[in-house]
Structure 1
Amino acid sequence: MDGRDWSKFLIPYEQAVEELKFKFKTLRTELKSREGYSYVEFVTGRIKRISSILEKAKRLSVPMDKIESGIEDIAGIRIMCQFVQDIYAIAALVRERKDMTVLYEKDYVANTKESGYRSYHIIVNYPVQTALGMKTVLAEIQIRTLAMNFWATIEHSLNYKYQEVLPEDVKLRLKKAAEAAFLLDQEMSSIRDEVTESQQQFEDRSNVVSRCLNNIQELYFYYRVREAAQFQLRFNELWEQEDDWGLKELAEEIQSALIRSKKGDQSK
């Protein structure tokens, strides 16, 4: 043990995790806005526990003064997606980014581990601005489907219980479960277009509803009470009828009325 102050040592890694989580969550929002569909379903992140860092350093024979370069996943980001195809789309987006440098990639989706583990790992150099200046840290980005993540979470719990030495029958059942999870991923991928189209329709309808209601409220702000009330009644009727086309036309009418109200207010 080198007597280092671990709380201070981990500060740049904690900052890297928070920044990367924010950036990939923002990417999800931007993709939904621009393309109507995001490859990113959700994002999590964590800092490796000190005990885990020490155990891994011992297992890999990494000297204490080489931990920063020898342990790649002290900062870890996990990106979950719906379909296997999305994993590779996200990986391509990561490669194109200018705010991090990809060092190498490990494709455990195409090259499944013996245990059945599937995931896509990208090791990056990520610069963070600290109180002491710029510092570049290693971070691991894992990309996997929801089914892969479910399986990996169970495997991790069992490895912890059996201290990495799983009984043979448990290994076999886990491997069968991994294959079942991958079959599910393959089946879902076969209907990807239908699923994404349905999600797009839901997103479009949600946006139209938000536009209608927000603009009706803004009409009240401009004292167009009667007009706003009439629009609200029409909205309620169309909503009950599930008339999506009618709602879109109504949204345009409300938008036009709001523009007129703003112009009238400016001319006073």
Structure 2
Amino acid sequence: MNWEILLAPYRQAVNELKVKLKGMRSQFEHESQHSPIEFVTGRVKPIRSIMEKANRKNIPSNQIENEIQDIAGLRVVCQFVGDIYSVVDMLKHRNDFNIIEEKDYITRKKESGYRSYHVIIEYPVETIHGEKKLTAEIQIRTLAMNFWATNEHSLNYKYSGQIPRNIESRLRRAAEAAFQLDEEMSKIRSEIQEAQRIFKKKQDTN
């Protein structure tokens, strides 16, 4: 398998989608509205991770593109939980890709405590051989959810997916604490947004 040829369209998709999602953020800023998007990141899954996932799920090499939906991955990070659903709604109204699956791990968190909203899209990429439709995963989460998930991912890597029980229980408690933080911040959302508008206006006049 030639990985460079296989992954090139996915790299293109990540680059294009990052520009489009960041463009959404810029439009809100230009219109002096609160942007539900704090920042956007993207990556193509490393070859080693693709192979490990294929082995774990018994996916033959010729079915990797059909069976692994997150070779191309985007992450949209928001300030508030409500912003997540605003972003999802905006994604649903775009006509440059199709949403083929949604996974709401916020209202139905994972056993580990993981919370995020996953959207699987079918995205058309223009290649030298014509249009290629591929799948990409967009994860939408708050800053607190992202902090927790990043640390949980590091621990999973360190312990090869077998995190010690005492650390697992601490992680679950930390996940609940992070969600409590999100809920408390949502209660004073209007105050925070007004303060941010005042600060931005002051910066713009200096």
TM-score (norm 2): 0.97
| 3-state SS of 1:10 partner | helix
Per the alignment, residue 50 of structure 1 pairs with 47
Structure 1 residue 35: deviation in Å? Answer: 4.6
- Backbone CA RMSD of aligned residues: 1.0
- The 5 A counterparts of 1:138-177 are 138-177=135-174
Q: Deviations over 1:171-228 (max 9, x none)?
A: 100000101111111111111001111112222333344xxxxxxxxxxxxxxxxxxx
Per the alignment, residue 125 of structure 2 pairs with 128
Number of residues of Structure 1 aligned to a counterpart in Structure 2: 206
Q: Which is greater in Rg?
A: 1
Distance 1:82 1:29 in 2: 16
Per the alignment, residue 104 of structure 2 pairs with 107
Partners of 1:36 and 1:203 within 8 A in 2: no
> Quick one: percent identity of the two aligned structures?
53
Say yes or no: does 1:188 pair with 2:185.
yes
Say yes or no: does 1:7 pair with 2:1.
no
Q: Deviations over 1:68-110 (max 9, x none)?
A: 1100000000000100000000000011100010001000011
Structure 1 residue 33: deviation in Å? Answer: 1.7
| 3-state SS of 2:31 partner | helix
The one of 8, 17, 37 aligned to 1:20: 17
Distance 2:174 2:113 in 1: 8
- The 5 A counterparts of 1:70-109 are 70-109=67-106
Letter of the 2:114 counterpart: Y
Structure 1 residue 116: deviation in Å? Answer: 0.3
Letter of the 2:160 counterpart: Q
Distance 2:192 2:67 in 1: 42
Distance 1:57 1:95 in 2: 29
More strand by share: 2
| 3-state SS of 2:140 partner | strand
Indicate the structure whose relative CO is greater, using CA pairs within 8 Å and at least 6 residues apart.
2
Letter of the 1:40 counterpart: I
My pick for the range that moved more, 31-40 or 91-100, is 31-40
| 3-state SS of 1:77 partner | strand
Distance 2:164 2:197 in 1: 45
Q: Which runs of no fewer than 5 residues in structure 1 stay unpaired? A: 210-268
Q: Which runs of no fewer than 5 residues in structure 2 stay unpaired? A: none
Distance 2:201 2:132 in 1: 42
Distance 2:171 2:31 in 1: 39
Letter of the 1:173 counterpart: R
Partners of 1:28 and 1:40 within 8 A in 2: yes
